[in-house]
Structure 1
Amino acid sequence: MKQFVKAVGGLKHSVIYTDTDGRHYRFYGGTWAWRNHNPGNLRPGFYANKHDPIGSTHHLAIFPTNALGRAALIDLLQSKYANCSIHEMIYQFAPPNENPTKKYEAYLRKVTGVTDDKKLRDFTSTQFKKVWEAIEHFEKYTVGEIVEVYPIFGVQIIGKNRYQYCLNEGEWISESECILLAKKRKVELEICLSKLDNQFLRTPPNSLFQKRLEDIICKKS
């Protein structure tokens, strides 16, 4: 089982994880809850930080495993919201300016069967379990795809508008091969079209994973 130690946001709302062996994996498709191992869609902060987050993207914490993301959600409910009713909790957890809060509250009450102002600390274990399970369901945990992704370490100019790219240590591939990898989401590069409709590659603006191609151009040996 892969052990992830770092994660950053990638192209098209993907998340790129790095494991203990230094290999990289792109999580794409699905929902943020799945891509971030964050079933409660928690923001970075005190409770998220207690459960070993390894990054953040789009104002959401990224955890190395789904179990740690769930533990952070449960900790938040048991601590910060222990003295809150469902109504009080959900209006803080998912405020109306960002969420369909009334619908969210109605769903939690339907699932838990709690219709009064009972505090979360007084819920039975079954009722409490139904709360966090309902939150995970409402936050939409949908599985996507995972593909290994490779950083580009060097670029060589081999002719007019002709390049080759270095994967790993000394493994050089042609531009057409690199474009094919980009189409498969296996490199963190954008495919662009020139005025003559020729394809070329560029690093996404402000990429946290891939160095700018113009900064890693090296002389042909």
Structure 2
Amino acid sequence: MSRGIRNHNPGNIRHRDKWQGLRERQTDEDFCQFIAPEWGIRAMLKILRTYERKYSDNTIRQMIARWAPPNENDTEGYITYVCGKVGVSSSAVIDVDNLATMRKLVKAIIQMENGQQPYSDDMITRAFDLL
């Protein structure tokens, strides 16, 4: 099982913000640990919305370049993979308030971050409802 799945943090979000749903005791020095996957997925959704609202990053290219910068990732490969899974070009504007679109985007990121995507659509919808 990957670290992100074990930590209920499928986006591999690093410690910085005090997220809702964090485990009281954090034993991973680098990455947040949540009490349930819905809370980790919710944090992913919040971050992606922040990219759009604070930085005007509203395309997959812009979002993934910020999420998975080239100093740590094959950003171009990541963008290509996510675009294929979401079914849009890298320059298509993403509606961060659209559940169906965000479900596809989050599932693609989870797959890239963990090598698997074990979460149901219902679980991702529950995370979206926590926003």
> Structure 1 length normalisation: TM-score?
0.46
CA displacement at 1:116 relative to structure 2: 4.8
Specify the code of the residue in structure 2 equivalent to 1:90.
Answer: I
Aligned length: 112
Q: Displacement, 1:105?
A: 0.2
Aligned-pair CA distance for 1:86? 0.8
SS state at 1:59 partner: coil
Are residues 1:65 and 2:36 paired? Answer: yes
**Residue 111 of structure 1 aligns with which residue?**
85
Q: Which amino acid aligns with 2:61?
A: H
Q: Render the CA deviation track for 1:191-212: whole Å, top value 9, x for unaligned.
A: xxxxxxxxxxxxxxxxxxxxxx
Partner residue of 1:156?
none
Q: Give deviations 1:117-141, integer Å, cap 9, x for gaps.
A: 2333367432221001110111116
| 1:77-116 pair list within 5 angstroms | 77-82=48-53, 83-84=56-57, 85-116=59-90
Match of 1:53 in 2: 22
Matches within 5 A, 1:123-134: 124-134=98-108
Structure 2 vs 1, CA of residues 43 and 122 (structure 1 numbering), >3 Å: closer, same or farther? closer
- Specify every segment of 5 or more residues in structure 1 that has no aligned partner in the other structure, as ranges: 1-29, 143-221
Q: Secondary structure at the match of 2:114?
A: coil
Greater percentage in strand: 1
Distance 1:65 1:125, change over 3 A: closer
Q: Is the 8 A contact 1:38 1:69 kept in 2?
A: yes
Task: Find the aligned partners of 1:53 and 1:65 in 2 and give their Cα distance.
Answer: 9
Could you tell me which runs of 5 or more consecutive residues in structure 2 were left unpaired when the two chains were aligned.
Answer: 117-131
Give the counterpart letter for 2:20 in structure 1: H
Distance in 1, Cα, partners of 2:90 & 2:73: 22
Distance 1:115 1:131 in 2: 12
Percent identity of paired positions between Structure 1 and Structure 2: 27
Match of 1:41 among 12, 17, 41: 12
RMSD between aligned alpha carbons? 2.2
Give the distance between the partners of 1:92 and 1:101, measured in 2 at CA.
9
Q: Which has the higher helix share?
A: 2
Structure with the greater relative contact order (CA < 8 A, sep ≥ 6): 1 or 2? 2
1:10-46 CA-to-partner distances (Å, cap 9, x unmatched) read xxxxxxxxxxxxxxxxxxxx11111211011111123
Q: Following TM superposition, by how much is the alpha carbon of 1:68 offset from its aligned partner in structure 2, in angstroms? A: 0.8
Q: Distance in 2 between matches of 1:93 and 1:40?
A: 9
